[in-house]
Amino acid sequence: MIDSAQNHATEEAHTGPIKNPKQLLTAVFFSFIVPILVIVGLVFFVVSGLKPSGTIQGDGMGLYGVSPEARERDTGLRLAKVGSIEIRDANRPLAAGEAVFKAQCVACHGTPGIPGAPHLNDAAAWGPRLGQGYQTLLEHALKGKGAMPPQGGGDFEDLEIGRAVVYLANSGGAKFAEPQRPAAAPAEGAAGQAAPAAAGAAPQAAAPAPEPAKPAQ
């Protein structure tokens, strides 16, 4: 009896967890089929992100069921230039400080504006700042300071931003002069002026050679 129980325990120890065909099929499913399904799902997810965007419209659809218009739009976006060149007329009249203020500064420095920014006609807020001088205020406006982003490089020239700075500061009690474009350099003398005389006098003509002596009579 004891030997029979020991033999039964030994057999169970060597049979393993799979004891019937159903358990075998379950083990095969979770060992092979599930990983394959996970891999297929990942591949589908990655490939679907590479398809051009668009809406299926029925007829006339191209690759992946995307309309030609959507495909052209996506192609244009991929080929769009990273930067652009803007050409300005250097001789156009400068915008007035008030105009620049209303176009670019009024949202923060107007009324009500944003807290912490010196507002138009607020002498108490501008007072401590005016002692820094115009150049410092202009640099803060162009390059940014604190929560204020840089204002240079936009629709207005740096000189026009400076005019807005003067307009704002003067409303708070400053007496800054409105900046102007530098005057054009004076034209050089007219071309074609006579060249200075060469140093020294021109060499004299060579003396004539002496006549040959006449033969004796």
For the stretch 119-149, pLDDT in tens is 999 999 999 999 999 999 999 999 998 888 8
pLDDT for position 10: 56
* Residue that wins the pLDDT comparison between 9 and 48: 48
Q: Quick check: 91 and 85 in contact, CB under 8 A?
A: no
Return d(Cα 51, Cα 65) in angstroms, integer.
10
Q: Are residues 141 and 107 in the same domain?
A: yes
Question: Residue 50 falls within a domain, yes or no?
Answer: yes
pLDDT mean across residues, the chain: 74
Number of structural domains the chain divides into: 2
Return d(Cα 215, Cα 83) in angstroms, integer.
99
Q: Are residues 74 and 6 in the same domain?
A: yes
Q: What is the CATH number of the domain that holds 144?
A: 1.10.760.10
> What is the DSSP secondary structure assignment for residue 127, as one 8-state letter?
H
Q: Are residues 118 and 153 in the same domain?
A: yes
Three-class DSSP category at 148:
strand
Question: Residue 147 falls within a domain, yes or no?
Answer: yes
* Closest alpha carbon to 104 in 145, 147, 143, 160: 160
Return d(Cα 161, Cα 72) in angstroms, integer.
40
Full-model pTM: 0.47
Return d(Cα 117, Cα 94) in angstroms, integer.
26
* Residue that wins the pLDDT comparison between 209 and 72: 72
Return d(Cα 72, Cα 77) in angstroms, integer.
9
Q: Which two tokens stand for residue 52?
A: 């051009």
Domain that holds residue 104: 97-171
Q: What percent of the chain has pLDDT over 90?
A: 30
Q: Quick check: 151 and 144 in contact, CB under 8 A?
A: yes
Question: Residue 166 falls within a domain, yes or no?
Answer: yes
Residue carrying structure tokens 């003398």: 189
Phi, psi of 145 (to 5 degrees): -160, 125
Q: Are residues 53 and 105 in the same domain?
A: no
